[in-house]
A and B are shown apart, each in its own frame.
Chain A
C-alpha cells in the first residue's frame, strides 16, 4: 500500500519542519515555581536513619501522583513539565528535604496508592487523597494541606438543578474512579451515574447531552468553565474533601516532619503563593485560609 509510506513521509515532514513553534495552547500558564523555589525553606535538621535521611541520600523525592489533573498535577506534553498545586508542593517538599527540588513522579491510581506506599515504591502520595478514618488505618496522612469539595456543573440554560438533591432521578456524569461517584450516591441515591474516563470526555459528554449535570471537584469545574462559555457551575461545593499527603503507615516521625513543613509554608505565605500560581489562576479572589494541620478526622 503506497499511501502508507506516503503518510509516514508526510507525518515526518510535518513533524520536522515546524519544530520551533511553541507548546500546546489551552493549558494553564507556566507556573512561576522557580521564583517560589528560590525563597523556599530547607530543613535545618534531618535525623539520621529516618525516612527523610534516606530520601536525602537518594537525592530524589519519589512522589505518587497524576499526570492529568488540571490545576493540581498536570504534565505539559510540550515541555514534559509537571504543573499545579500538588506538583508545586511536591517540589517544595523535595527542596525542604534534599535542598534541591528533585522529584520523580510515579503515576498512581486510587487503587494502587496504598500498596505503592507500603512497599516503598514512593515516598509520598500527592494526589487529591481525601483523608478518611478508614484510610488512616492503612496510611499515615500529613495535613490536610488543602480543602476542596465536589460541585455541580450544567449546560448554560439548564433549569431545575440548583442543589445536590435536584440530581435525584437524573442522568449525572462523573469521572470514573473519582470521589464524585460516592458524593452523588450520598446526595441523590436515585441519580443514574454515567462514567467516563477523563475530564474532557465528561465535558464533551455533557455538551452532547449524555447527562444533565456533571459532578467534579469545584476548582476543576471553575477551570473548565473559564475555557467553555457553555458550562455553568451551580452553587457551592456540597462536600468537604480534606486532602492529605499520604505517607507510609506508622511513620510518625515523617508525618511530624511533613506537618512541621506545612505549618512553616502556611505561616510564611508560600502556601498562598503556590495557590495563586495554580488554583488561583481560575478561582477569583484571595487565597482561602489554609486548613489547620491535623484538623481532619484521620490526620
Chain B
C-alpha cells in the first residue's frame, strides 16, 4: 500500500480535530451550563436557546452553514478551524446538558445549606456542587467524547481530509475497500477506547 502516508495523515488530522474540538466543547459547555443554572433569567433563556438550536439541527447542516455562511458575514477561518469551531459549538450543547444533569443530581438541600452559610452563587458552585457532580458527569462526558470522535468524520463536508475522507480517497484509487475501511474503523475504535479508558481512570481518581 503506497498510500499509507495518506491514511496516517488523515488519522493525525482526526486526532487534532478530536483534541481541539473536545477542549472547545468542554470550555463552551461549562459557560453554557453556568448560564443555564445561573440567576439571570435572560441568560438562562440564552443558554436554553443555544442548547435547543444546536441539538435539533444536524451537524451536517451546521457545517455547510458555517463553511459557506461565515465568510458572508465577514468571518473567514481556514477550513480546519471552521470544522473545529462547528464541532465544538455543536458538542458544547451536549456537554452543557450532561453537566446540568450532573448539577441536578446534587441534592437541593446542599445548595440551600450553602446559601444558609452565606456562600455566593459562584462559591456554591465551586465548593459544594462541582466536587460532588464531577464524579457523576465523567462517564456521560466520556460518552460525548466518543460521539464527538465519531462526528469528526463529517468534517469531510467542510473539505477537511480527516481519516474517513482519506480512507474514501485512497479506496477510490486502490479499490481495496475491506482493508482500508476495516483499518479506519480500528483507528476510531482505538481512539474511542482511549477516551473510555481516560474517563474510567478519571472516575476512579475522583471517587476518592
Taking CB as reference atom, which chain A residue is nearest B177? A111
Residues of A within 8 A of B68 (CB): 201, 204-205, 208
- Docked-complex contact A194 and B159, CB < 8 angstroms: yes
- Is A197 on the interface with B (CB-CB < 8 A)? yes
- Docked-complex contact B172 and A210, CB < 8 angstroms: no
- Docked-complex contact A210 and B64, CB < 8 angstroms: no
- Docked-complex contact B159 and A208, CB < 8 angstroms: no
- Is A260 on the interface with B (CB-CB < 8 A)? no
Give the complex CA separation of A210 and B77 in angstroms: 10
- Docked-complex contact A194 and B79, CB < 8 angstroms: yes
Give the complex CA separation of A194 and B159 in angstroms: 6
Residues of B within 8 A of A254 (CB): none
Residues of A within 8 A of B71 (CB): 208-209
Distance between B74 CB and nearest chain A CB, rounded to angstroms: 11
- Docked-complex contact A209 and B157, CB < 8 angstroms: no
- Is A177 on the interface with B (CB-CB < 8 A)? yes
- Is A257 on the interface with B (CB-CB < 8 A)? no
- Is A196 on the interface with B (CB-CB < 8 A)? yes
Give the complex CA separation of A204 and B71 in angstroms: 10
Interface string of A194-238 (1 = CB under 8 A from B): 111100010011001110000000000000000000000000000
Q: Which chain B residues have a beta carbon within 8 Å of chain A's beta carbons?
A: 52, 64, 67-68, 71-72, 76, 79, 156-157, 159, 161, 165, 172
Extra contacts, 8 of them, besides A205-B159, A210-B79 (Cβ < 8 A), are A176-B156, A195-B156, A195-B161, A196-B159, A201-B64, A205-B67, A208-B68, A209-B71
22 inter-chain pairs at a CB distance below 8 angstroms, sorted by A residue, are A1-B52, A176-B156, A194-B159, A195-B156, A195-B159, A195-B165, A196-B159, A197-B157, A201-B64, A201-B68, A204-B68, A205-B67, A205-B68, A205-B159, A208-B68, A208-B71, A208-B72, A208-B76, A209-B71, A209-B76, A210-B79, A210-B159
